[in-house]
Each structure stands twice: as structure tokens, then as C-alpha cells.
Amino acid sequence: MTTQPDPPSRPAAGPATPATPPVRPSGDDGPPDHGAARARLLDTPGLVGTARRTALAALTDEWLAGLLAAAGAPAGVAPAGVALVAVGGYGRGELSPRSDLDVLLLHDGPLDPELPERVWYPVWDAGASLDHSVRTLAEARTVAADDLKAQLGLLDARHIAGDRELTAGLRSAVLADWRAGAPNRLPELRELCRERAERHGELSFLLEPDLKEARGGLRDVVALNAIAATWLADAPRDGLDAAALRLADVRDALHLVTGRATERLSLQDQDQVAERLGVLDADTLLRQVYEAARTIAYASDVTWRAVDRVLAARTTRGRRSSRLSFPFTGTGRGGGAVARGAVQRRPLAEGVVEQDGEAVLAQGARPAADPVLPLRAAAAAAQNGLTISYATVRRLAAECRPLPVPWPDEAREQLVTLLGAGEACLPVWEALEAEGLITRLLPDWERVRCRPQRNAVHRWTVDRHLVETAVRAAAMTRRVARPDLLLVAALLHDIGKGWPGDHSEAGEVIVRDVAARMGFDHESVETLAVLVRHHLTLVETATRRDPDDPATVEAITKVVATLPQLELLHALTEADATATGPAAWSRWRASLVEGLAARAADRLAGAYPSPDPGRWGSHAGEAAPTAEQERLAVEAARTGGPALSLLAQADGDDQPGTEPMGVRLTLAVPDRPGLLGTVAGVLALHRLTVRSAGLRELDPIGAGPVLLLSWTVAAEFGELPEAARLRADLRRALDGSLDVSRRLAERDAAAPRRRGIPTPPPVVAVAPEVASATATVLEVRAHDAPGLLHRIGRALDAAGVRVRTAHVSTLGAEAVDSFYLTDQAGRPLSGRRAGEVAQAVRAALG
């Protein structure tokens, strides 16, 4: 509370308690024994928490009322035209054992200059910390208009003694001023909160948190109440009051343990505070504090977004009533806010749309019948740089049933897509966690949630460190062939810290189970287990062993058997270290790890994975074509035109409750230039996203090669195109009557621009010659986008090379494609020619 300067005859007003206050004016017999009464109250068995704070405030009220009455001697009653008013925390009745007393002496006219002294001196004599001021109503309003902190304190004004009408007038005037000035004051309040958070950090991650000033602390609760007083918005109240009470109880215990008015929960005090509160230990205490802080911080985020929407609407729609209902007090069928007037919605994914800068459910969404919807909504929000609306997350938590085990393929892909969004993942993850959706998806997460790490190197709790590692891994997805495994390993690498023993060993056991439940195949499960078990091996070996000793390299090659696994371990090591904190990663450490990884790669160079028939579409050992594929190939060879079949497939291997969500498209066409890009463009026109694709050559009747393309595609917004229309457009595109590139460009130009997220640049590289003896393998790793494969195909066609076989896969939001290229004579490309083709593809990808 901002104070009013006193005349020289009085001590300067302020929050400080003078060590030797000036001599009390004569004629004052001094206060009653308030200190003894206060001590008895604090020692009362069973009087704790809110009850104790309320009792302490009431006792202080009685004492100050007596002082004001004594100051009015000889009448023995409070003088007329004067009121003693509690403000700030004292005004709210939140008086902790060592709290300051925030008091305003309010008067409506001439005031005896000695009256304030007769009230303040006994308070100082009692050793209390006093923050005081003396003002008229007009002066109080003027100060509030100039000082936001003073205005916030006055919003909690509460009558103690004297003229009640004066206090009532003050409350009414201050509240009216606050509401009238809210459009200007709220941005100022938000900036104040932001600066405070930067100065004091985030309470839910600090080992020695400031319970009051840090983000998620008690100051934020005051700000939320101030916002509610504007009538423009209100905070989500579920759990908020309990969180505030928990922090207040910890603050009380801290005051009693230290005997000081401190707000910082220091390491040396945590055990005693835990004992006083009856908590198991200091770690349990910190977890409770962190959980409370996260509840408050999330409520703040939700509320400030609501404020932004209201203020933006006032700006764009002109004058509106200052008394608006909070957007999430009522919801439509989609779980979004009920808005006034026309609402603009843009589709993001099946069942998910954008509204007012947030992801909300579409009107036709069916959460009860769509267990993947929480992950799909989260992934769509993060990939578009949005968060999920409060009402939507609440609805998803209430209505969606658990995922089947193993997860449907789409659920795993959506989790990877969410993690691959990088920094944009964080607010979405926090929203899911606030409603318990993370622990519903990953039950093992509960053991690491809000778990402190008592290590100066670590800057985050265990769970946040895992998410931060995934965020950093998202920037490294171009370095690996399996970005999905990198992101999941990053998310789970320390999951064993919730269990006794070596966390890497415990984590290996846990991740095998979790990965199997997610639906990963056996090989992927084993790779994830290796990454989690040995996520510290590379950095520890590089920094503790002789780099020139052959046994040092052997220690790594015994752990990882292939180059792709080494790439994953290297990227995970760097992501883990950079997410830990600045002390865990340096240029020196990075150079040692890089050097060891390079030497291990040289050792493993001869173990470059040979093309897997199912994955790479190679000739050797390739699975025989099915009867349906042979039929299509024969039809194409005989007619000289395309032959295709469409088969809807259900995700999750026909598990109960799954719905058709993809199409298996098989297309046979006599070989011709530009085939891959043309077909991919038609699929993009129909808003079909490619999940996987393969290309191979057949010669069913000896009349020339027929290209057989096998695609697995999913509808971008859940509705599959009609088979007849898709077939007709494919025929038109192949005969040249449909200009696919022009149609895609026109659609992109007409579409409104969306907020995007930063993604790593695409990587186009020529694989080592050992990848194939009969073709040049071009590898493309890029962020998936509509028309991506079409652009790649056009670039290859323009370069004059043949695509003999191809493997296309989308892992989350990342495309990992390999193309087996030859020249027109069917021979591998020269090194120079391969480099030119790679550059052409890079240029096509921008």
C-alpha cells in the first residue's frame, strides 16, 4: 500500500518498523497487553489455517478499535468523521502470524494532527510492522488513480472502527472507479504480474520459492480477485480456493518456524515447516506447494485470455456493456464459449475448430464416442500455435472415455504431433494436466508430477523437465530417421525417477510397458528401452573416459547397434542436457559428445541398415503382390490407363469403439513421368493426409512396367471423399485435364492465413551408397504440410530422374521419406547428379 507523507513532526509513514520510534506523546497510557493475547491465540491447540488467520484479524481489529477510541479521549470513543480501515491482506482477513498491518485512517474534514500519532505509536511499541496512511476520501481516490498497487489494496478495504459510512463510501467509490477504469487498468495489472513473474520466477519449479511474489503465488490470487471485481471476467474456481488456502497455510507455518515475516520457503526451513504442517517430508511439502501454484498459474492464464477477448471485443465492436458474463460460464455444444453475435470458426482437425484464438470442439464433435479426441485437439491446437479453451478441456475430461490398450495408431501419432510442436506444446500440455488428462493417458506420470529435483543443476521439476526435453528434441527431429521415437524417449527418459533405485534401470522397465500400451511394435519398444536405459551413457562416457581409447568407442557401440539408434541417442543426450539447465551443457561437453558420436558412427558405418522390404520397397526379398494388386496391375497394363481400389480401414486393428478413419488406396498405372507428384497432388486436393506410401514396379503381362502405388491416407477433417469423385479426379489429373498444381495454388491463396509455429528447416540428403546397390537413395525429412509430397514429386520429375521405389511415412507431424532414384537408363545417379537433385528438392520445399 502506498503511504501519504507525514509532516515533519511525525515519523515518516511507510511499511518499515522503526528500531527506535520517537517518544510517544504524553498522556497516552499505552495499549493493553495485545502481545500476550496474540501469543495465546497462536498457541491455541487446534486453531490453524483460515480459522487462525480470521481469529488473528479479529483480535487485531479489537485492539486497533480500542486504540482509536483511546485516541479520542476524554470521550473514550472514536472521534466523529474518522474511520479506521483495514486494506490489503489485512482487509481480506488474511492475517498471517508475521503479516504487516495495512491500515488507512480515513477522515472527512479537519483532523487533529495528534490523533494519528496516538493510534500508530502503540502499534509500533508492540513491535508490529505497520503500513499506514492518513487520507480523505478524495485523497484516497486520487492516490488510487495514480498508483495501481494502492488501488488494489483499497479494493479489499474493510471497516475496523469509527464512522462506518465513511468506510462504505470509500468502498463504493473505489470499486466504481476500478470498474470504470478496467479497460485501461487491466493491461497495467497484467504488465505488473508479468514483471513480477520475471523477477521472482515460477513458484511451481523453484527449490526455494517465494510463496507470495512468484508466479502462481498469493499475489496472483489477489490479481484474480481484482479481475473478478471488474465484472469483465472471473477465474475458474475449481480448486483455486483450496490452492490459495494451501499456500497461505504454508506461509503461516513458515512465519512461525522462522519467527520472521519471510515469504521465501528456504531449503533449511522446509523440514520444520513440513513437520509443523504434519506433512511427511520436505519433498511432499514442495509437491503440495507446486500443485497449488500450478492451479493458480493455470487459472491466471485462463482468466487473462478471457480478459484479452473481452477487451478486444470492446475495441472492435464499439461500446458494449461493462458488465459481461465470463465466456466459460456457458458453453455451446462444441464446448466453446457462447458468444454474442456471429462467431467465426475455422476447422483445425476432425472435431476441432479455432474460435477466438483458441481450439474448441466442433458442434458435431462426439467426445463420448471418440477417445482420441483429447490428443487430436491438443495436437491441432499446438501445431497452430493455439491453446485449448478452458471449457473444451473440461468437457474432454468429463466425457471422453479412456483409450483402448494398445492405443489406436492415431492416438500415438497425435501424441507425437503434440510433442513435435516444440514451445507451442507447453500451454496445451499444462491445460491437459490441469484437468487430469495427462495422468489418464499416462498413469505412470503421477509419480513424477510436481516431483522436485534437489540438484542445483536442474531448473525444473521432473515432469516439467521431461516436457522441456521433448520441446528441445522437437528442434532436432531432422537429425534422426525416427522422430517419433526421439520425442517419446525425450518425454519418458526420466520416468523412473518416481521409483526407488537407479532411475535409468527403473525407467527401462516402465518404458517397455508404456510403449507397448501406446501400440509401438516390438522393434520400436526395444529402441525406446535402449534410449531410456542409456540416456546418460553417451555424455558420461564422453566426459569421463579417454576419447582415444578404442574401448571408449566400444562402450557406445555395445549399447547401440545401428546408426539410426546412435542418431537417436545423440539427439536425446543433447535435448536432455539443454533442458536440464545451463550448467549441464557447454561447448566443451558438446564437442566431447559430438566427437565420441562421430567415432562410434564410423565404427557402425558398415552396419547401415539394409532396406527393409516392407519399409523400403526393395526388390530383394520383397513380399509378393497380393491378388488384388496383381488384378489392378493387369488391368492397367491391358487398358493403358489407371486402375485403383479404395478400402476404408479402421484404426487400432478393429478395436471396439474405433471408427473408420483412413483409406487404403492402391493405384496401378503404366509407368510415366511425374506420376508420384500428380497422385499426391490429387490427394491433397481432397484434403487427404498421407500417413504412409509405397511405390514398386511390376510387369504383369510382359508389356512394360506398371507402377503400383500403395497409400494409407486419412481425411484432414474426418470426412472421406466419395470414391467415385476421387477416381474421376485421378483420371483427369493423369490425362492432363485437371491442373493439380494450379488448383492447389488457388486454394492456398484463398485460405486465410493461420498462426503457425516455428519448425526446423527441411533436410534433404543423399544416403550412403551402402543403402542400395541399384539406386540412389534420397532422404527427405520435413515438417508435414498439405501438398508436401506433391512438391517433392514435381521437383524429382523436373530433375529428369525416375522414382523406382519409394517409402513415405508421416510420424506425428514429421515427414520421413526415402526415394530410390535412377537415371532414365535405370542406373544409380552419379555423386554430382545426386547433389543437384537434392538441391532441386530443397528449393521446392522453400
Q: CA 663 to CA 677: how far, in whole Å?
A: 19
pTM for the whole structure: 0.85
DSSP H helices, 667-819, are: 675-685, 723-735, 740-750, 788-798
Q: If you average pLDDT over residues 358-368, what whole number do you get?
A: 95
What percentage of the chain exceeds 90 in pLDDT? 63
Mean pLDDT of 140-157: 96
Q: Of 369-383, 388-402, 583-597, 608-622, where does mean pLDDT reach its minimum?
A: 608-622
Read off the pLDDT of residues 518-548 as tens digits, 9 standing for 90 and up: 999 999 999 999 999 999 999 999 988 888 7
The pLDDT tens digits for 451-507 are 999 887 889 999 999 999 999 999 999 999 999 999 999 999 999 998 999 999 999
* Residue 606: CB atoms within 10 Å: 8
Tell me how crowded residue 827 is: count the other CB atoms within 10 A of its CB: 11
CA-CA distance, 833 to 397, in Å (whole number)? 55
Identify whether the C-beta of residue 211 lies closer than 8 Å to the C-beta of residue 265.
Answer: yes
pLDDT higher than 80, residue 659 = no
CB-based contacts of 391, cutoff 8 Å, min separation 6: 327, 328, 331, 335, 336, 337, 360
pLDDT value, residue 612: 40
Does residue 621 carry a pLDDT above 70? no
Model pLDDT, residue 262: 95
- Which residue in this structure is represented by grid cell 488474511? 94
Burial annotation 437-468 (CB, 10 A radius, 16+ → b, else e): bbebbbebbebbbbbbbeeeebbbbbbbbbbb
Edge-to-edge strands, sheet with 158-162: 130-136, 101-107, 82-86, 158-162
Report residue 190's pLDDT band, with 50, 70 and 90 as the boundaries.
very high
Split at pLDDT 50, 70, 90, the class of 699 is: confident
- 622 confidence band (pLDDT: 50, 70, 90): low
> In 3D, which of 789, 756, 792 has the Cα closest to residue 689?
789
387-388 and 358-361 strand pairing: parallel
Asked whether the predicted pLDDT for residue 707 surpasses 60, the reply is yes
pLDDT at 715: 79
Residue 77 binned pLDDT confidence (cut-offs 50, 70, 90): low
pLDDT number for residue 244: 97
Contact 171, 91 (CB under 8 A): no
649 or 748, greater pLDDT: 748
Kindly report which listed range (327-341, 604-618, 660-674) carries the lowest average pLDDT score.
327-341
Q: What is the mean pLDDT of the segment spanning 334-358?
A: 73
**Cβ–Cβ under 8 Å, residues 526 and 480:** no
Percent of the chain topping pLDDT 70: 87
The contacts of residue 845 (CB under 8 Å, 6+ apart) are: 762, 764, 780, 782, 788, 791, 792
Stronger pLDDT, 6 or 78, i.e. the higher one: 78
- CB count in 10 Å sphere of residue 701: 11
- pLDDT tens per residue across span 783-829: 988 889 999 999 999 999 988 888 888 888 899 999 999 998 889 99
Quote the pLDDT of residue 423. 96
Given the DSSP bridges, would you call strands 158-162 and 130-136 parallel, antiparallel or unpaired? unpaired
Instruction: Give the pLDDT of residue 548.
Output: 78
Average pLDDT over residues 427-443: 97
> Over 80: is that where the pLDDT of 175 sits?
yes
Residues 148-155: what's their mean pLDDT?
A: 96
Sign, Cα dihedral of 16, 20, 22, 25? positive
- 555 has pLDDT over 70: yes
Which residues make beta-bridge pairs with 810? 815
Confidence of residue 752 (pLDDT cuts 50, 70, 90): low
- DSSP bridge partners of 781: 763, 816
pLDDT for 687? 85
Mean pLDDT taken over the chain: 87
Sheet holding 814-822, edge to edge: 643-650, 660-670, 706-715, 688-698, 802-811, 814-822, 776-783, 763-766
Alpha helical stretches, state H, 259-389:
267-277, 282-317, 373-383
The yes-or-no verdict on residue 629 having pLDDT over 70 is yes
pLDDT band at 13 (very low <50, low <70, confident <90, very high): very low
pLDDT at 655 > cutoff 60: no
Q: Which residue, 128, 110, 118, 154, is CA-closest to 3?
A: 154
**Helix, strand, or coil (residue 86):** strand
Residue 318 has pLDDT above 50, yes or no: yes
Cα–Cα distance for residue pair 230/715, rounded to 1 Å: 45
Residue whose entry in the numeric block shows the C-alpha cell 512468484: 214
Cβ-contact 121, 25 below 8 angstroms: yes
pLDDT value of residue 25? 46
Pairing assessment for the beta strands 130-136 and 101-107 based on DSSP bridges: parallel
Most confident of 263-277, 644-658, 747-761: 263-277
Q: pLDDT at position 679, please?
A: 87
For the chain, helix, strand, coil in percent to 5 are: 50, 15, 35
- The answer to whether residue 2 scores a pLDDT higher than 50 is no
